Structure 1
Amino acid sequence: MRQWLSAGLLFLLSAVSAPCLAQSAPQWQLEKVVEIARHGVRPPVSWDRRAIEADTGRSWPRWSTPDGELTQHGRLAATIKGQLEGQHYRRLGLIDKDCPTARDVYIYASPLQRTRATADALSQGAFPGCQLQVHYQQSGNDPLFLTGSQRIPLDGTKAKAAVLQAMGGSVQAAQRRWQPEINRLARALCQQGRPCPLLSTPWALNVNHPGNVSVPALDHQAAAAETLRLAWSEGLPAAQVGFGSVRQQRDLTPLLELNSVKYRYSNDVPYIASRQGSRLLAQIIAALESERPSDVGQRWLLLVAHDNNIAYLRTLLRFHWQQADYPEGNIPPGASLVFERWRDNFSGKRYLRILFRTQRLTQIRHLTPLKSISDLLQTEYSQPGCRHTDAGILCPLDASLQTFSQRLDSEVLQPFSWPSS
């Protein structure tokens, strides 16, 4: 009788404890991250500086680093962001406190100095003291990031028609639509009583061989707006930002609109994005699908490139965001597009979380110490079929990747191998 009671008691205890153990076990497990970050704060590139100075008749301040290269301020801002991400992914169990190998964490950058230096800063923040290698194409010819029309030609007729459609059918009508923003930028930068092509040059749609479509006047206006944002982000004194026209952040944010307008009529055009962004998206899809032990970046694949690369991906994904004081779809220095692969431990099914993550403008300018990942601006991607969970908005992995694969331009795809050194 005593043995029967003991066996019955053990059965009851196991029946009660099993659901409790199941409830206490975490449902969601983060398996892999693929992240594409923009480089950090830099001075204007040399051709933008020349165009802005010619358009305004003014010499712009020289910075502490050569034109186009990452500044020390930009490095520190990127390090702060990398530190937060490293702490966040350790808490989620993706990585541990030890220095990872390239099989676990692989870092790949565009070959330009500003991207390679940003990749190193993000790595130093996430993995202090580990000195992880930043890989890049030694030849300088990168097939994923540097995909301008010289490398991937566009059909000029198709590209022109697509841009005109985005403009509503008329270049002149588009310029009239954005004339208030042009006037606002001109008031900030032009000298009274002197010619200012930044304001007066009419928009014209140019098609150059091999199929590149541009609106030169808008390009110069957008570059001027972006240069103001970079100067403010660098922490330069207000007197050096827009010749003293930007005294506080609220003076700057309305001037950034033309930067987004340029992308609306270039990188955000589906035909152009498909041609120029398909190679990168194809590699992201392959990385999220892969479970091969031989692949690099099995836990975290960190890519550092340019804002136009993120813009192409955003268009292919049909992902939209508007964050804080930034214009719609804005891609600040150091911002990143993040793909997270999650597993439901109860069902075994896999899901995809996509988010856009960036520091606030004031955080970059003041190098604000941040305590947690929630201190950053984060916008999550969603579509029909995605679900809100404790891990975030999760979308079925296989169905999502299949949808994205259907948007690739197969004509531009080519074999690609991650460099080993």
Structure 2
Amino acid sequence: MTSKPWPQFNETCGYLTKKGFLLEGYMGKYFSQWLYKEDVLSKKCPLEEEFYVYANAIQRTLFSAKAFVNSAFPNCNITVHHVDKDKPDPIFSPYIHNSSAIFKKIALDEMKNVLNKLKLDLSYKIMEDILDYKNSDFCKLNNNCNMAADENKLDITVGKKPKLSGPLKICNEAVDEFMMAYYDGFPMTEVAWGRLNDTEQWRPILDLTASYHNVTFNTTHVANDLARPLIQYMADKFINKTSKIILLMGHDANINVFLKAMSFKFYSLEDSFVSTPIGGKIVFQKWYNENLNKYYLKINYVYQSDEQLREGHALSLKNPPKSTLLELKYCKVDENGFCPWDEFIEFLNSLI
């Protein structure tokens, strides 16, 4: 997609970086400090009834979970549960399940509707300039040198991810690399070849990756289909109380479809390029009000800011990650961000 040299990472493509392992460890250490402080955990090494971990078996998610628990509970030998590494995970793999022709037509129509409403000509032009796209192999071989005029193609196939090919996918992959280089601490001259030095320069290209995810994962029928196994798994844990604390380690795609399928209200994250930041955690908390003898739900998005990620700041109770309150459309919160637990469970049951 460019004739320019990309920054060289030491890791295999798609694997967790050394910096990523460090940052996930910081998050684990912070959470353990918080849980002990709140007396949710008491023992130095929690048993599985207290702390259970389930991760997708892909290397970067599996090692993210290991980094988290190794720092949260050093020398405790916490088991990270996962399926066979050679098989797609039934909970986390964002693959289409519904095989009906009606579903495919409705889902594709929804995706096309979002795609057709995008206004990205300026963003495409800026990306072409950053990549020097006119001298790229894609331009020379395919003679598709104008991203705004090139076609984005959609497809839905059972057992595979929703597919979007064309300029928007190319741009999403480029932005992924820019953000990885930024968070990994590469010199700014090596992040998009020195072209992204302030928020105003980042904004139009971030619109490209946000649009890609909105088309691919954030339409109603696709999100509901992809998220159903994860929602069913979580509902079972919420209702049957199998462990006091459960850590689920998946992808940003899991969070995207989960947020849509669960009807979360719009939110914005301070000091974050994207709405699903690297290493971020959606934290469901069950609280008990002794005076009212009632249980309540509170949900927060806990994440490291762009600066904390890039500079590799260690986290602690004195230097915590960022936290933003999240709200469900069908479970109204009070002034302190709590909604009735019974209403939440009733809503969950309606989804499964």
Seen in structure 2, the aligned counterparts of structure 1 residues 332 and 311 have a Cα distance that, compared at 3 Å, is same
Q: How many residues are matched?
A: 338
> 1:306-354 CA deviation, whole Å, 9 max, x = no partner?
00001111102222321124356x2111111111111112222111111
Comparing 179-188 and 108-117, the one that deviates more: 179-188
| Inter-partner Cα distance in structure 1 for 2:251 and 2:27 | 17
Seen in structure 2, the aligned counterparts of structure 1 residues 346 and 78 have a Cα distance that, compared at 3 Å, is same
1:144 corresponds to: 91
1:161 corresponds to: 109
**Structure 1 residue 407: Cα displacement:** 3.4
Matching of residues 36-115 of structure 1 within 5 Å: 55-115=1-61
Q: 2:345 aligned to 367, 391, 401, which one? A: 401
SS at match of 1:95: coil
| Inter-partner Cα distance in structure 1 for 2:318 and 2:232 | 28
Asked if 2 retains the 8 angstrom alpha-carbon contact of 1:358 and 1:376, the reply is: yes
2:77 corresponds to: 131
| Inter-partner Cα distance in structure 1 for 2:8 and 2:135 | 26
Seen in structure 2, the aligned counterparts of structure 1 residues 199 and 373 have a Cα distance that, compared at 3 Å, is farther
| Inter-partner Cα distance in structure 1 for 2:203 and 2:183 | 12
**In the alignment, structure 1 residue 269 sits paired with structure 2 residue 219:** yes
**Structure 1 residue 191: Cα displacement:** 5.2
2:152 corresponds to: 204
AA aligned opposite 2:51: V
Asked if 1 retains the 8 angstrom alpha-carbon contact of 2:94 and 2:161, the reply is: no
**Structure 1 residue 237: Cα displacement:** 1.8
**Structure 1 residue 117: Cα displacement:** 0.5
Q: 1:182 aligned to 119, 124, 128, which one? A: 124
**Structure 1 residue 361: Cα displacement:** 0.9
Tell me, which stretches of 5 or more residues in structure 2 are unaligned? none
**In the alignment, structure 1 residue 347 sits paired with structure 2 residue 305:** no
| Inter-partner Cα distance in structure 2 for 1:152 and 1:127 | 40
SS at match of 1:56: coil
> 1:209-242 CA deviation, whole Å, 9 max, x = no partner?
3486533121221121122111110111223221
> 1:174-229 CA deviation, whole Å, 9 max, x = no partner?
2xx12222222222222566648575262333225348653312122112112211
| Inter-partner Cα distance in structure 2 for 1:191 and 1:141 | 35
Asked if 2 retains the 8 angstrom alpha-carbon contact of 1:253 and 1:326, the reply is: no
**Structure 1 residue 126: Cα displacement:** 1.6
| Inter-partner Cα distance in structure 1 for 2:184 and 2:204 | 18
Seen in structure 2, the aligned counterparts of structure 1 residues 253 and 232 have a Cα distance that, compared at 3 Å, is farther
Comparing 352-361 and 210-219, the one that deviates more: 210-219
User: Who wins on radius of gyration, i.e. which is larger?
Assistant: 1
Relative contact order, higher structure (CA 8 A, sep 6+): 1
- Using the size of structure 2 for normalisation, the TM-score is 0.88
Identity of aligned residues (%): 20
1:363 corresponds to: 308
Matching of residues 328-347 of structure 1 within 5 Å: 330-347=275-292
**In the alignment, structure 1 residue 258 sits paired with structure 2 residue 208:** yes
Asked if 1 retains the 8 angstrom alpha-carbon contact of 2:29 and 2:316, the reply is: no
